[in-house]
Amino acid sequence: MLRICALFVLLMAGTAAADPAGKIRVVDADTWDVGGARVRLFGVDAPEQDQHCTRQDGRDWACGAWATEQVRTLYQGRRAACREVNVDRYGRIVARCEVEGADVGRELVTRGLALAYRRYSMDYDLDEKSAHVARRGLHAAQVQAPSDFRATKRSAATPQPLPEGSDCRIKGNISSKGVRIYHVPGQENYNATRISPSKGERWFCSEEAARAAGWRRAKR
């Protein structure tokens, strides 16, 4: 009988761990500790803490830190109930979460604090489109998809080689919003920027040539 009771307790503990519930501690906009369990919110992707965006007037904006602080103001210390979808490669529980019966993922996307992560779910596609039309939150600026930002950071340690037989070192990149930006050696994002000729991106031999072709210099 004792063995049966012990097994029941273990099974219940496993269920609790798989479906976290409890007080929220915001790690970043889409990653929370819920009742002590690390949770990655399902179906949404928010800017990374160190990610920057570009405002419409060209000013740099630390949008990742901003999104985290906005989410922290909204949810820190409140209670969430989550349902596990799966576990990611970092050991985080990927889950749908609710606060006072409201879908947190939908709330974040609707407010423009995160983007719909269409690679994994189309649940919030229309919510993002609505936020984009209204220019709410992140949509008031030029925002690189967080997944692209992470991929760029991973590749930063491996500089892209120059085209064979060329000494043209200026990188003409096209952003996810279609903005043409060139990077010169020594700029912060130069090594991380990858040039894909198939997408219309190209190398330039001078800044004058880049500007004449319709590219503008990167801010950083």
Per-residue pLDDT at 156: 60
Residue 69 has pLDDT above 50, yes or no: yes
Per cent of the chain over pLDDT 90 is 70
How would residue 163 be classed by pLDDT, with cut points 50, 70 and 90?
confident
Q: Is the pTM of this model over 0.75?
A: no
Per-residue pLDDT at 166: 76
- What is residue 107's three-state secondary structure? helix
Give Cα separations from 16 to 12, 22, 73, 99 (angstroms).
Answer: 6, 10, 26, 17
Per-residue pLDDT at 85: 97
The span from the CA of 23 to the CA of 92, in Å, is: 17
How would residue 177 be classed by pLDDT, with cut points 50, 70 and 90?
confident
Per-residue pLDDT at 8: 43
Tens digits of residue pLDDT in 100-129: 999 999 999 999 999 999 999 999 999 999
How would residue 186 be classed by pLDDT, with cut points 50, 70 and 90?
confident
Ranges 66-75, 88-97, 171-180: which has the least confidence: 171-180
| pLDDT, the chain, mean | 89
Tens digits of residue pLDDT in 22-66: 999 999 999 999 999 999 999 999 999 999 999 989 899 999 999
Q: Which H or E run includes 206? A: none
Residue from 125, 97, 122, 121 nearest 110 by CA = 125
* Apex 38 CA angle, 33 and 42, nearest 5: 100
Q: What is the mean pLDDT of residues 171-178?
A: 88
The span from the CA of 63 to the CA of 48, in Å, is: 8
Per-residue pLDDT at 16: 43
Per-residue pLDDT at 159: 62
Per-residue pLDDT at 157: 53
Per-residue pLDDT at 10: 41
Q: How far apart are the first and last CA of the chain?
A: 67
